[in-house]
Structure 1
């Protein structure tokens, strides 16, 4: 039997009581604990303040659960609504690349992608998907006016197919897309940046440049001939900053991969000192690793949390990197889920807390964040997931095969494998697990969710986040003002 309410202790020796379903969370005096325990059956001593307080909390439902269910399903209408409100359309411009990064998600360590054949996406495929979405946008109800829609270019190395990018931008600019402000974005290794920077600056591309730190830090990012790409990379980035300083300050950011040849500290200080930017640092992808490469992967992998905690500049990094620090991002989710003051609409202010029937896990509804179109014509919900999870295709004749009904059926089939675990998971109300990061979800009848938490693990999660907020007293205000406002 799951407990709706229980208490935990922080590293500062403070006790908090949490109702995981009603999102009640309060500082608790030790003398109140015996009276809050579900097995406590003693008579209420009216002279005992804490007994009276516990009685009050019980009487007003602070300690009761809501009996949430996890039998919710995705419907075809939900999928269509997300298409109508799409935030980002991502094209895999090419599967060719001018680098051979050792840890690449499309490289020798991984197996969950289509064969790379140095293909270039043709404009007609992109035009057809844009036209397809335009029809949906024109016909369907939208939740916004003048929303930003990102048109993004991904690879491989997208700058290797620059004619395609120019054609797509020209076509987008020729259309009258209602209620949307178009912005362009791209992830690049900067090896061809010197040839393309004039155009990128003119069109105000949001540019994410891959760079793992100094020359040694960057030594997994090599050319086909095995040469470190560092010097050419930074030479082109330096040129971009010199030639277009305002564009660089506003639109250029950096992405780094953490591995056994760098640290968060080294990455952050190199990029911050050289370019005045705070990089996003991501660990190696842990999904889809080939069986015969797991030992090699483990040698290369570096845990971001552990690496940060070992840094002599930990507090400085926590303050500077903010939401790119796992402790900060986890605390943000915790505050959002459990502070009891999050309302989706004004109606929620007057509503009574009731039981809900949730969709399992913490993943998103298909296309709620983006649509990813591969160079082979597959349509996916995201570029970060295995390409075996295609939801539709652009056919050889450029027709679109995308059924909202079939997508809903497929997702619900995946969710059915996880519902039983979600029902007894203490973390179910703050789950962030994407179903597509569960190994072999598509192939196995029964799967184990890596994020499942029993009472003890969840209590540790609560304690960890409250301890972080106690140790960083300005963090709560900063999260509320910068992230959740």
Structure 2
């Protein structure tokens, strides 16, 4: 399977199963498009008629090059991965990451919050140290020989339970050597309670920090308000700037959400970059279709255009010496994840789980509160293995709708939670999200092509 597209002056050919990317001229682009469906002599006639300056010998030479690439497995490569999508239910898995919901409460009242203002459609609650400690013990006990373990402090707003966060980090550090584990922590925060102590501790202990900012002041304040109805932009931006400045070369992301209200979301990304942030992410809102801020079908062409605008501006700013990173454009065309990861995705419900303040286990944070997907708890472990088996089978080859999609080995079938909320099945697909993902991948690959082309011309 190949995917061909044109973007930013490049004619790009992606060979799906080998992962090879080819930037070609117009003639080769058209020849490749005809190669599998058209006899060679017909290709020669068609191409020479379309391009009078091209001789039959030129076309045959290009056809020979295509054939060589095919023999090398770099064009029209067969799907050698289908057989690797064996019965995933039988594969052995270990838990490598937990999302600790240390606070089911929040000091903001964001209208679009998927977690119902941090309460997850339940009661407000804070995780005790005892529950968190048991969660870390559960992670260690179920991680097998894996050394690096990931723990996200999540909410609600985790800084509303900051003392417990610090205690849990200290406990994890105290057992690392004995258990031969290395904990890597992430903190996700809305910034309201960030102060010098939080910055100092997080920059020492947190492998990553995610800061929530939706971009321009009017966009951010429209939906991200406190309970008094006041926007939070002016309060948090100076704190985030100081946080990022003092973080140095340690990982962080300033993460926004775009909605129907700001389909021109690149202006928000560029605004965040102009504030001095260099590690950026912007996600489409996840909500019921009837909400006033929900993305619509009419928004889709505008969003596609925005992703292209973003990619071109990233090239321009890089040339000017002021680059920034966009999370969804980070792609490794030379190494990348192993094939099992590319087939099975994020590992929700198997390698990754969310823990509620009272210790219940869910497949991920987007399932928390849905009793159909309550998997167990941190004391008894996974008490409903049939749910874990269901998520083991949640791979790209188990989704019939993914069969003909060129991007399927990049998204691994997409987000199970988004599929579930869109279709009622974790093995369905969220087609709107698929459209956005494919466009992001086209832009990400184009950025790599542009980078390679500029290196070749140096």
Superposition TM-score, scaled by structure 2 size: 0.71
Counterpart among 72, 92, 99 of residue 86 in structure 2: 72
Measure, in 2, the Cα distance between the counterparts of 1:305 and 1:187: 28
**Structure 2 equivalent of residue 134 of structure 1:** 140
| CA positional deviation for 1:226 | 0.9
Q: Is the 8 A contact 1:76 1:405 kept in 2?
A: no
Measure, in 1, the Cα distance between the counterparts of 2:336 and 2:312: 37
Measure, in 2, the Cα distance between the counterparts of 1:461 and 1:237: 27
Structure 1 pair 369–474 and aligned structure 2 pair: CA distance change class (3 A): farther
Measure, in 2, the Cα distance between the counterparts of 1:477 and 1:385: 45
Measure, in 1, the Cα distance between the counterparts of 2:280 and 2:440: 24
Deviation per residue, 1:178-203 (Å, 9 max, x gap): 44333433112222223853763585
**Structure 1 equivalent of residue 408 of structure 2:** 428
Deviation per residue, 1:346-390 (Å, 9 max, x gap): xxxxxxxxxx9x899662334687432122533234335665374
Q: Is the 8 A contact 2:158 2:188 kept in 1?
A: yes
Matched, 1:222 2:225: yes
Deviation per residue, 1:299-322 (Å, 9 max, x gap): 898965544656899356763565
Q: Is the 8 A contact 1:153 1:187 kept in 2?
A: yes
Measure, in 1, the Cα distance between the counterparts of 2:252 and 2:446: 35
Measure, in 2, the Cα distance between the counterparts of 1:461 and 1:199: 35
| CA positional deviation for 1:115 | 1.7
Structure 1 pair 380–280 and aligned structure 2 pair: CA distance change class (3 A): farther
Structure 1 pair 295–399 and aligned structure 2 pair: CA distance change class (3 A): same
Measure, in 1, the Cα distance between the counterparts of 2:238 and 2:337: 47
**Structure 1 equivalent of residue 47 of structure 2:** none
Deviation per residue, 1:128-164 (Å, 9 max, x gap): 2222222234xx333x6xx4x4433111111111232
Matches within 5 A, 1:241-252: 246-247=246-247, 250=250
**Structure 2 equivalent of residue 351 of structure 1:** none
Measure, in 2, the Cα distance between the counterparts of 1:169 and 1:445: 33
Q: Per the alignment, in what secondary structure is the counterpart of residue 220 of structure 2?
A: coil
| CA positional deviation for 1:254 | 2.8
Measure, in 2, the Cα distance between the counterparts of 1:453 and 1:97: 31
Q: Is the 8 A contact 2:12 2:21 kept in 1?
A: yes
Q: Per the alignment, in what secondary structure is the counterpart of residue 186 of structure 2?
A: strand
**Structure 1 equivalent of residue 49 of structure 2:** none
| CA positional deviation for 1:17 | 5.7
Greater helix share, structure number? 2
> After the TM superposition, which of the residue ranges 47-56 and 183-192 deviates more from structure 2?
47-56
Deviation per residue, 1:40-89 (Å, 9 max, x gap): 175999x9575476468279475665254375332354323xx2xx2x43
Q: Per the alignment, in what secondary structure is the counterpart of residue 97 of structure 1?
A: coil
> After the TM superposition, which of the residue ranges 366-375 and 156-165 deviates more from structure 2?
366-375
Counterpart among 371, 384, 392 of residue 375 in structure 2: 392
Q: Is the 8 A contact 2:266 2:309 kept in 1?
A: no
Matches within 5 A, 1:345-356: none
**Structure 2 equivalent of residue 156 of structure 1:** 156
Matches within 5 A, 1:270-309: 270-274=271-275, 276-286=276-286, 289-290=287-288, 293-298=290-295, 305-307=304-306
Structure 1 pair 448–130 and aligned structure 2 pair: CA distance change class (3 A): closer
Measure, in 1, the Cα distance between the counterparts of 2:217 and 2:11: 48
Q: Per the alignment, in what secondary structure is the counterpart of residue 236 of structure 2?
A: helix
Q: Per the alignment, in what secondary structure is the counterpart of residue 217 of structure 1?
A: helix
Q: Is the 8 A contact 1:11 1:467 kept in 2?
A: yes
Structure 1 pair 61–75 and aligned structure 2 pair: CA distance change class (3 A): same
**Structure 1 equivalent of residue 6 of structure 2:** 10
**Structure 1 equivalent of residue 173 of structure 2:** 173
| CA positional deviation for 1:96 | 0.7
**Structure 2 equivalent of residue 190 of structure 1:** 191
Measure, in 2, the Cα distance between the counterparts of 1:237 and 1:34: 48
Aligned-pair RMSD on alpha carbons?
A: 4.9
Structure 1 pair 196–55 and aligned structure 2 pair: CA distance change class (3 A): closer
**Structure 2 equivalent of residue 373 of structure 1:** 355
Which of structures 1 and 2 has the larger relative contact order (alpha carbons within 8 angstroms, sep 6+)?
A: 1
Structure 1 pair 227–202 and aligned structure 2 pair: CA distance change class (3 A): same
> After the TM superposition, which of the residue ranges 257-266 and 155-164 deviates more from structure 2?
257-266
**Structure 2 equivalent of residue 91 of structure 1:** 100
Q: Per the alignment, in what secondary structure is the counterpart of residue 438 of structure 1?
A: helix
Structure 1 pair 67–186 and aligned structure 2 pair: CA distance change class (3 A): closer
Structure 2 gap segments, 5+ residues each: 45-55
**Structure 2 equivalent of residue 450 of structure 1:** 431
Matched, 1:401 2:374: no
Q: Per the alignment, in what secondary structure is the counterpart of residue 197 of structure 1?
A: helix
Deviation per residue, 1:202-223 (Å, 9 max, x gap): 8544433323345423312211
Q: Is the 8 A contact 1:34 1:40 kept in 2?
A: no
Measure, in 2, the Cα distance between the counterparts of 1:453 and 1:232: 35
Measure, in 2, the Cα distance between the counterparts of 1:380 and 1:21: 33
